[in-house]
Structure 1
Amino acid sequence: MGVLAAERIKLTSTRSPWWCTALFVVATLGIAVLFSLVLKLGVEQFNQDIAEGKQPATTNPYPDNAIAGLGITGVADGFPGFGYILVMILAALAVTSEYRFGTIKATFLALPNRASVLFAKAGLIGVVAALLSAVLTFVSFFIFKALIGNDAGRFLSLSDGDNKVFYAVPVFVVLVVFLSVGVGALIRQSAGALSLLIVWPVLVEPIVGAFGETGRNIKVFLPFQNAGRFIGTADNTLPWHWGAWGGLLYFAAVVALIFGAAIYLVNQRDA
């Protein structure tokens, strides 16, 4: 409990966590507003074409699955994935900032069990981020339903469609927190850790899929693609070897491997 209290004080007494949290909220809700307005324009254009006797560009402007649409607008996606990237930045800085300012030495002197320090950091940030993401996912849904208009909004219901996104996003957020803390402990430098965490899901994994059939076969084994498989944002046309829950287990195994390597090296290296 003392370790958790210390990590809570570190988390709430510095500016970067507050800035990351504020940007996380603004980005998530902003994407929900943007996506709902774009869809609303599509519905209005469809109705206008019908009224004028024109051939509509689409035969069905209404969302077939409200929750699938929310998966695009929620915390797991956008810009792309801008929301969860901010969570990864916050989690990585919780480790690398201590190495930068040398406070990690005092932390390890006070608590020689270094593994418990990493678990406390990741656990505290993970729980807070998961709760916040769950709230924002629900708020995004209601924003989506309110702004899309009564015509299309009648098709949206919390009881219809695949509700998995409401628990899949918080689970994913917890895992990326442990991943980010592990990467931060391995690299120990903010620039290097943040570069890797941002470039890998945003640039590296999407580029792999551009290399024809070989790239598509490799892409199904990449960690963030499997996380997207679980959430419902991945490309379903890829040659997947397992389903959504298999994707979650695969991503969790990668996170466990990196976090375990971080614990091992932290115990082996000097602070």
Structure 2
Amino acid sequence: MTAAGLVRAEWTKFRTVRGWLIGMVVAALLIVFLGWLAAEGSHSSCGGPATGCPIDPVGPGGQGVVDRFYFVHRTLPGDGSMTVRVNSMTGEARAADAVPGVRNVIPELEPWSKAGIMVKDGTRQGATYAAIMMTGKHGVRMQYDFTHDVAGRPGNGPRWLRLTRSGQTLTGYESTDGSQWSKVGTVHLAKLPATAQIGLFASSPGAITVTKGDFGGASSTMRFSQATAVVDQISVQGQTSAAWAKDDIGVEKEADGTPHHPGGLAQSGGTFTITGVGDIAPRIEGMSISNTLMGATLGLIAVIVIAAGFMTAEYRRGLIRATFMAEPRRVRPLLAKTAVIAGVSLVAGLIAAAVIVPLASHILRQNGNYILPVSTFTEARVIVGTAALLAAVAVIALALGSIFRRSAAAITACVALIVLPHILATTSVLPSGVAQWMMRLTPAAGFSVQQAIPSYHQVVGNYVPQEGFYPLSPLAGFAVTCAYAVLALGLAAYMLRRRDA
């Protein structure tokens, strides 16, 4: 029998068993229904700008960003440059209150606090920019358009910084003595207009505290922090405006309109002391489109049950002998079954994910929730990746069905290998280190295809599975699951050739 004939025969077997078709429909409906139910039940007190809530800024690349800092700047029409010396940086952070109701602020400089020179398209949050800066503990960096970070020289001593503009090209330099300069990086900002703002800035992201739970998990809280930089030897070249403007970009306001944790500037001759709060970085906190796929785990279990039964039913009913009589080369029917179950699972998962991701995202936004924006490519990758994950897991379940020849054993083994590690790793049951290794080494690594918001080394965050961040990239994690599928299928083929029907 030809390969196409075998696949057609196995597809006929699958579609003529009503329970399998219904089960695959149920798997897809579980993904859609549970995602819809979770979205309908999630409400935010903030309904958007119409209710007085702030507009969340979006960066030049369309991603959600945090854009809050103190900016002392001049208008720069055309080319120019700015040179300064960052003499020192200090910081404060809030600790647990020693006396209830009395704020406890301690000296603490957050490692990713920033102070330096910036060229930005005005003062609008999310506008394109490039900056050369000193950081709290990561030396000199050049950052631009929120997601990009170029490392300069390490160290925290006084440092001279220079940022030059030539059209839409900006170059950052650093020096330890103001005489010998080293280039940190050069960037091209396609969206930078002819007239921009050039000046000094300071910011400090919240200090993160991770607390271990009683049963091994952990939770994180973000504490207020601010940074203060002392800057002197300021030199500006170009046709800039004469006066310095001062803006607390993105500062939050109290109900009476007063700034909440404002930054500030103290000037003494040519020395500027700038205090800033906040961060200039991609936003990682908030819901993502991955939250719309909460039903994928139960849908996956349904697929496991169907895939295992698709194989074990022939052993249970004694039909496997007829199959091998029609095709004595035993591996070929196994591969045909694999093609059918993988294809059906892929189609069911693709339809379900394509329906629920945009639908649940719309419902969440209507309920006042903030969904971190992603590119069209990322959304497509999450949808197709979820479907591909269902197909890969179906292959594992089918292979285990061939190995064990019993549905109960195959289903139990598959759930223990894939579903259980994912649940344990993402529900704060295990220590973070154990959860991360589990999501690297087990077939559950494939769930990383659902991660829509990447992790950034320059952004403060608790990058653990419990917070929705996986240790492997989406493709690498999916490759681990596929490797298990190939291994299980190979073992099934080996045992199929050696055992009696």
Q: Please tell me whether the aligned partners of residues 393 and 481 of structure 2 are also in contact (alpha carbons under 8 angstroms).
A: no
Task: Tell me the residue number matched to 1:198.
Answer: 415
Residue 444 (structure 2) aligns with: 225
- Letter matched to residue 307 of structure 2: A
Map 1:162-241 onto structure 2 (within 5 A).
162-163=378-379, 164-204=381-421, 206-207=423-424, 210-212=429-431, 215-216=434-435, 218-232=437-451, 236-237=463-464
- CA gap of 1:185–1:155, structure 2 versus 1, over 3 A, is closer
The range that moved more, 257-266 or 129-138, is 129-138
Aligned to 1:98: 314
Which residue is 1:245 aligned to? 475
SS of residue paired to 2:486: helix
Q: Which runs of 5+ in 2 are unaligned?
A: 54-254, 256-282, 454-461
Is 1:72–2:288 an aligned residue pair?
no
Q: Distance in 2 between matches of 1:158 and 1:214?
A: 28
Letter in 2 for 1:34: L
Deviation (angstroms), 1:146: 4.5
Cα deviation, 1:198-242, whole Å, max 9, x if unaligned, reads 233333554478453663364143323311123328994269764
Query: Is 1:46 matched up with 2:46?
Result: yes
In structure 1, give the amino acid aligned to 2:32: L
User: What TM-score comes out, normalization by structure 2 length?
Assistant: 0.45
Change in CA separation of 1:162 and 1:105 when aligned onto 2, cut-off 3 Å = same
Contact map agreement 2:46 2:368 (CA 8 A) in 1: no
Residue 106 to residue 230, structure 1, CA distance change in 2 (3 Å): same
Which residue of structure 2 lines up, in the alignment, with residue 57 of structure 1? none
Residues 1:4 and 2:234 are matched in the alignment: no
Q: Distance in 2 between matches of 1:34 and 1:240?
A: 25
- Contact kept in structure 2, 1:220 and 1:240, CA below 8 Å: yes
1-side partners of 2:292 and 2:368: how far apart?
17
Give the strand-richer structure, 1 or 2: 2
2:334 aligned with 1:107, yes or no? Answer: no
Trace 1:110-129 onto structure 2 (pairs within 5 A). 110-129=326-345
Give CA deviations for 1:12-60 in whole Å, capped at 9, x if unaligned: 1113212312311321111121122123x22xx2349969x7xxxxxxx
Q: Over aligned residues, Cα RMSD in angstroms?
A: 3.3
* Pairwise CA distance, 1:87: 1.3
Say which one has the larger Rg.
Answer: 2
Task: Give the counterpart letter for 1:246 in structure 2.
Answer: A
Against the structure 1 CA distance between its residues 225 and 198, is the aligned structure 2 distance closer, same or farther, given a 3 Å change threshold? closer
For 1:220 and 1:27, locate their aligned partners in 2 and report how far apart those are by CA, in whole Å.
Answer: 24
| Structure with greater helix percent | 1
Per-residue CA deviation, residues 1-20 of structure 1 (Å, 9 max, x unaligned), is: 22112111210111321231
Query: What is the total number of aligned residue pairs between the two structures?
Result: 252
Distance in 1 of aligned mates of 2:367 and 2:412: 44
TM-score by length of structure 1 reads 0.79
Which range moves more in the overlay, 107-116 or 157-166? 157-166
2:22 aligned to 3, 19, 24, which one? Answer: 19
Distance 2:367 2:439 in 1: 38
Mean Cα deviation higher: 120-129 or 194-203: 194-203
1:221 aligned partner, one-letter code:
R
1:100 deviation in Å?
0.5
Identity %: 21
AA partner of residue 199 (structure 1)? A
**Alpha-carbon distance in 2 for matches of 1:215, 1:147:** 35
